[in-house]
Amino acid sequence: MTIRNEDIEAIVKQVLINLKSSKQIKNEELGIFNDVNDAVNAAKESQRILRYMSIDQRERIINKIREKTIENAKLLAQMGVNETGMGRVDHKIIKHELVAKKTPGTEDIKTIAWSGDNGLTLVEMGPFGVIGAITPSTNPSETVICNSIGMIASGNTIVFNPHPGASKVSNYAVRLVNEASLEEGGPPNLAVSIDKPTIEMANILFKHPDISLLVATGGPGVVTACLSSGKRAIGAGAGNPPVVVDETADIKKAAKDIIDGATFDNNLPCIAEKEVIAVDEIADELIYYMIKNGAYKIEKDMVDKLTELVLEKKNGEYVISRNWVGRDAYKILKALGIDADESIRCIIFEANEEHPLVEEELMMPILGIVRASNVDDAIKIAIRLEHGNRHSAHMHSKNVDNLTRFGREIDTAIFVKNAPSYAALGFGGEGYCTFTIASRTGEGLTSAKTFTKIRRCVLADGFSIR
């Protein structure tokens, strides 16, 4: 194999970096740039180095990222809540620990081989190169760490354009990734980001010739913009996950699981229960146990006031008021003039399926409960309320036929049965963790292998010793 001059230059640069002590690490080596083109150039250079590093070295860097994320979990959680005003510090600590421990690394990249009369053929998963990643305000540093582990494991470097409302905490996470790399003898700028990100900068990334893959984690606007770029793109978009409860469910457990899931980080995760569809026969019992588990039920007048508080009308369409996304339930109740204490985790109310608080993806600890006459009716309502996002849906039932039918018909990337929604992230459920769920483009729960190109390598008439 011949090594190109530009690759030799990059390797020499790396050797010089290794000679420096970590105390001498300069800020500009930690990945934060003012200009998006400079950021892409730096990520391109570091990708050349990453390409020649052993899998073992990649894995050591990833382990260091995991370590640093755990060490900084509390700080990142506090920074996230302070900067965005959204979510809960205790739950964000759990989210960071989860992402550090359960995001797959290089073990996710598998080789397939066929050998026989005609020799040996390998199918290997190789990097795209430099990935452009858009990250949300709802799980900001969690997504940066999650994407970094998966994308570096697969040999890519990353240019982040974080949400402008969460850029400080996102960029702090980017710095941690580069500190981890430098401390383990890797290059600077494995992940890079923009000091003051804007939508214009995201648009430059969408068109940049050195970006080979785009990954958008966010609402419908950014995912559509990304998918319209003409580049290969992975779209992790919005959801409005319904949870169905039928008459066969363990109602007491279902109530607790739903409140636990819907209040996790104040309902910011895209997978969290956003509305309940309960079969009429068990609806009263379900509500009773929800109240026992920290829910506060409001009636019609208050529901109208709540709608005015958390939704705004723009051009005839409802949009959520950012002032209340991810806020504590008791604070929302206070704004309605209801004096509730901090033990109140969730606001619940009964409504019909067309109610805007049920139709919209609120990302607030507010759950509308829609009564259905039977399970068939419940499934029909839930499918409509998911709005074809194909993102997440949940069900509490002991009837395997009902569970199977709902899972098939709603056709979502995630379907959690008889557990809180967060079981899908590997928290109280089996499987790995991700904060980028590619619902729109179908990759589902992304991991290192999602960010690879498949390559076939054929050696005819040799290396078969059978």
Which of 137, 156, 402, 441 is the binder for ligand NAD (CB under 6 A)?
Answer: 137
- Within 398-457, the residues that bind ligand NAD by CB under 6 A are 435-437, 439
- The CB-of-145 to ligand NAD minimum distance in angstroms stands at 14
In the bound state with ligand NAD, the residue whose beta carbon lies nearer, of 161 and 181, is 161
Check binding of 147 to ligand NAD (CB under 6 A).
no
Site string for ligand NAD, 154-173 (x = CB under 6 A): -------xxxx---------
In the bound state with ligand NAD, the residue whose beta carbon lies nearer, of 350 and 361, is 361
Q: How many residues does the chain have?
A: 466
In the bound state with ligand NAD, the residue whose beta carbon lies nearer, of 86 and 249, is 86
Coil/strand/helix, residue 162: strand
Check binding of 286 to ligand NAD (CB under 6 A).
no
What are the backbone angles phi and psi of residue 419, rounded to the nearest 5°? -160, 165
Site string for ligand NAD, 325-364 (x = CB under 6 A): ------------------------------------x---
In the bound state with ligand NAD, the residue whose beta carbon lies nearer, of 50 and 174, is 174
Q: Which helix (H) or strand (E) holds 366?
A: strand 366-372
In the bound state with ligand NAD, the residue whose beta carbon lies nearer, of 372 and 425, is 425
- The CB-of-271 to ligand NAD minimum distance in angstroms stands at 8
- The CB-of-218 to ligand NAD minimum distance in angstroms stands at 3
d(CA 61, CA 353): 49
- DSSP label at 330? H
- Cα–Cα distances (Å) from 44 to 5, 51, 174, 238, 391, in that order, read 15, 11, 16, 30, 33
In the bound state with ligand NAD, the residue whose beta carbon lies nearer, of 278 and 367, is 367
Site string for ligand NAD, 200-239 (x = CB under 6 A): --x--------------xxx-xx--x----------xxxx
- The CB-of-200 to ligand NAD minimum distance in angstroms stands at 9
Residues 316 and 305 sit within 8 Å (Cβ to Cβ): no
Rg value, the chain, Cα: 24
For the four alpha carbons of 141, 422, 272 and 380, in that order, the dihedral sign comes to: positive
In the bound state with ligand NAD, the residue whose beta carbon lies nearer, of 225 and 310, is 225
- The CB-of-13 to ligand NAD minimum distance in angstroms stands at 31
In the bound state with ligand NAD, the residue whose beta carbon lies nearer, of 236 and 419, is 236
- Within 235-274, the residues that bind ligand NAD by CB under 6 A are 236-239, 270
Residues 168 and 78 sit within 8 Å (Cβ to Cβ): no
d(CA 267, CA 310): 14
Residues 147 and 135 sit within 8 Å (Cβ to Cβ): yes
User: How many residues sit in the footprint of ligand NAD (CB under 6 A)?
Assistant: 27
Site string for ligand NAD, 170-199 (x = CB under 6 A): -----------------------------x
Tokens 């290059």 identify what position?
187
Tokens 């209040």 identify what position?
263
For the four alpha carbons of 161, 163, 164 and 169, in that order, the dihedral sign comes to: negative
d(CA 34, CA 74): 28
Q: Which residues pair with 112 in a beta bridge?
A: 123
Nearest one of 138, 233, 143 to 191, comparing CA atoms: 143
d(CA 97, CA 102): 8
Residues 163 and 173 sit within 8 Å (Cβ to Cβ): no
In the bound state with ligand NAD, the residue whose beta carbon lies nearer, of 173 and 283, is 173
Q: Where along the sequence are the contacts to ligand NAD (CB under 6 A)?
A: 134, 136-139, 161-164, 199, 202, 217-219, 221-222, 225, 236-239, 270, 361, 435-437, 439
